[in-house]
Amino acid sequence: MDFYQGRVLRIDLSKGTTAVEPLNMEWAQLYVGGKGLLLRYLWDEVPPKLDPWSPDAPIILMTGPFAGTTVTTASRLVVGAKSPVTGILNDSYVGGSFAPELKFAGYDAVIIKGKAAKPTVVTIKDDVVAFVPADNYWGMMTSAVEAALRADFDANAKVLSIGPAGEKKVPWACLSTDQYHKAGRAGHGALMGDKNLKAIAVRGTGTVSVGDPKAFLELLYKIHTDYVLTDDNLWAHEEGTPVLVDVVNGGGAIPTRNWSAGQFEGADKINSEAFQKIRIKKRACFQCSISCRNFHETTFAGETVRGEGPEYETIALCGANCGIDDIGALMKFNELCDELGLDTMSSGSVTALAMDLTEKGIHDFGLHFGEAESYVQVPALVASREGIGAELALGARALAAKYGHPELAMQVKNLEIPGYDPRGSFGSAISYATSDRGGCHMRAFPPGDELAAGTMPADTMEGKVEQVIAGDSANGFIGQNFSSIKFSGIWCDFWAVTPEQIALMLAPLFGHEFSEAEVMTIGERIWNLARLFNLREGVEKDDLPKKLYASEGAFSEGPSAGKAVGEVVFRESLAKYKTLRGWDENGVPSEAKLAELGVDVRL
Ligand code: SF4
């Protein structure tokens, strides 16, 4: 079989058994791989309304068809489950080198169910899968468990692990691989901890077939020279995501002191220029010619801090949103989150909320905006659920509600939102509200055109709903349909690949030519499948914290002063979104739309 290995590994942690079954190629034809194929498996593997904490609830690791080949940026992994935080889909993407190693071991996907009686590590070496007691590894930081498993199992193993935060089931515990790469957001780390699964270590000695290697390499040469190594992608290599700090801050959209301002006066101390001064090397994921990763070194409290990142979201939410402009403190906070296995976006949001509650005199957490010493204590307290960490680990929505101020929690469907304030990026209001995994910027990205390229005004909803649904990188900002096929490839967010280029790469995969329209149809099919899954599981209504769109929430100063989507326009835009999608007023896709798209399941 070309590209796919055609095999799925099933792991039952309760029984300590494994099985291998054929990959469902009919589903692969419909949903490609990555996000799409993950969703199709989740539909069948998650019984409707199943408690996400049930031992029967699966965690699925899914590769893309190009993982392990030389297709640039496409060796990523998606981890999927029904989230215990949002109650809906959580598909979380991670780079590094785990996905290609899994393909080399002979698997496209791994479906993990059950719950081990004791802490366990699963090792995979080609066809040999073993359950190893994790007594020696439980409690280890993420970098330590990777190193230990390479020493104990295989020096070339790739490891996907949880840190202490996952062991304690912190809602935003994440998975870690290659030390600095995280599958974050809504609770995969907590689920893995609940299953008593500390890590999966994989070593593969096989290859991935690409059919006609000469033709495939000729295609990739053209793609590399014409579409990858171009000015459009230079920003990612030269600066990486920190380039967004000045862009978003300049537009009045950087969350500042728990979303009380859109511009941070200390931004020049934590922007791309500041990070370039402490950058010591560049790094890349497996087979990525863009190489966006920045490795930094600085000091905090007299000690050296070294590591990859932080990325923009971390800078915005753990920096500006906490009032922190000390680059060493920010690096330290990021390092602690990485080691403990905590999603930095939620960590920053909840820390900022606790600072806000303290400064408003609602409850004293001993945390203050801009105060670095107490701030860097937070990750360890949250990961251990000790001291103030026990309450912070509730997450933003529950913490704010506990103290009678739900309006201070910036979340959508119980997922803390990313670092682009809709008051300075109107399109983000609709993209956050309608995202298929709660507050997320990776399904549609209005700030790309509103703030970075400046090709669409940021302070209007004109044309935004259409773009949020169907935009693509050749024609305005990325929208949900396009991101769905892009994340099924799985091509990295940071390559500005277009539908035309995806069509070229899908042709050798499926053995026939693809049009751009067909590429977008696959994306729309996948987005509607996600909607069906979320409806079946009981998704909350699409909404946004009111202060981010209502007129009374507008800032009084800064570049976005006086600007707000407005309640009427926001509600009209949500209604328009459903109409354009072919969904009814409750957001249920029509039979005609599902049939037109070829979605093969029904509610
Ligand atoms: S662009 Fe960056 S994050 Fe994406 S695959 Fe390449 S190195 Fe990894």
User: For ligand 1, is residue 288 a contact (CB within 6 Å)?
Assistant: yes
Q: Is 94 in the pocket of ligand 1 (CB under 6 A)?
A: no
Low-confidence stretches of the chain (pLDDT < 50) are none
What is the pLDDT, as a whole number, of residue 475?
78
CA of 291 relative to ligand 1 center, distance in Å: 6
Top mutation candidate among 71, 224, 494 for ligand 1, by most atoms within 8 Å of CB: 494
CB atoms under 10 Å from CB of 364, counted, come to: 12
d(CA 110, CA 591): 32
Mean of per-residue pLDDT scores for the chain: 96
Best residue among 69, 73, 94, 243 to mutate for probing ligand 1, ranked by most atoms within 8 Å of CB: 73
Q: Residue 230 has what pLDDT?
A: 86
Q: How many A from CA of 427 to the centre of ligand 1?
A: 25
Q: How close is the Cα of 311 to the center of ligand 1, in Å?
A: 12
Model pLDDT for residues 228-238, shown as the tens digit of each residue: 988 888 889 99
Is 284 a pocket residue for ligand 1 (Cβ < 6 Å)?
yes
Please report the pLDDT score of residue 192 as a whole number. Answer: 98
Atom of ligand 1 nearest to the CA of 289: 6
Distance 528 CA to ligand 1 centre (A): 27
Question: Whole-angstrom Cα distance, residue 514 to residue 84?
Answer: 38
Q: Is 236 in the pocket of ligand 1 (CB under 6 A)?
A: yes
Among protein residues, the one whose CA lies closest to atom 5 of ligand 1: 73
- Beta strands 197-203 and 120-125 are parallel
The strand ranges marked E within 1-152 are 7-12, 17-22, 59-63, 77-82, 89-94, 109-113, 120-125, 128-133
Write out the DSSP string of 273-309. HHHHHTEEEEE--TT-SS--EEEEEEEETTEEEEEE-
Q: How far is the CA of 72 from the centre of ligand 1 (A)?
A: 9
What is the pLDDT at residue 1?
79
Q: Is the CB of 494 under 6 A from ligand 1?
A: yes
Q: Which residues contact 45 (CB under 8 A, 6 or more apart)?
A: 58, 60, 111, 113
What residue type is 405 in one-letter code? H
In degrees rounded to 5, what are phi and psi of residue 334? Answer: -65, -45
C-alpha 495 to ligand 1 mean position (Å):
8
On whether the CB atoms of residues 13 and 116 are closer than 8 A, the answer is yes
Mutate to test the pocket of ligand 1, among 293, 473, 490, 495 (most ligand atoms within 8 A of CB): 293
Instruction: State pLDDT tens for residues 108-158.
Output: 999 999 999 999 999 999 999 999 999 999 999 999 999 999 999 999 999
Q: Is the CB of 465 under 6 A from ligand 1?
A: no
Q: What is the pLDDT of residue 234?
A: 87
Characterise 40 by phi-psi region: left (phi > 0), alpha (psi -120 to 50), beta (else). Answer: alpha
- The minimum-distance atom of ligand 1 relative to the CA of 291 is 7
Residue nearest atom 2 of ligand 1, based on CA coordinates: 292
The answer to whether the CB of 228 is under 6 A from ligand 1 is: no
Ordered structural domains, the chain, with CATH? 7-203 (3.60.9.10), 236-396 (1.10.569.10), 426-597 (1.10.599.10)
Cα gap 385→382, rounded to integer Å: 5
Write out pLDDT tens, residues 544-591: 999 999 999 999 999 999 999 999 999 999 999 999 999 999 999 999
Per-residue pLDDT, 233? 85
Cα 181 to averaged position of ligand 1 atoms, centre (Å): 10
Is there an atom of ligand 1 within 6 Å of 291 CB? Answer: yes
- Say what the pLDDT of residue 262 is: 97
Ligand 1 closest atom vs CA 96: 8
Q: Which atom of ligand 1 is nearest to the CA of 493?
A: 4
Residue 74 CA to ligand 1 center (angstroms) comes to 9
The pTM of this model reads 0.97
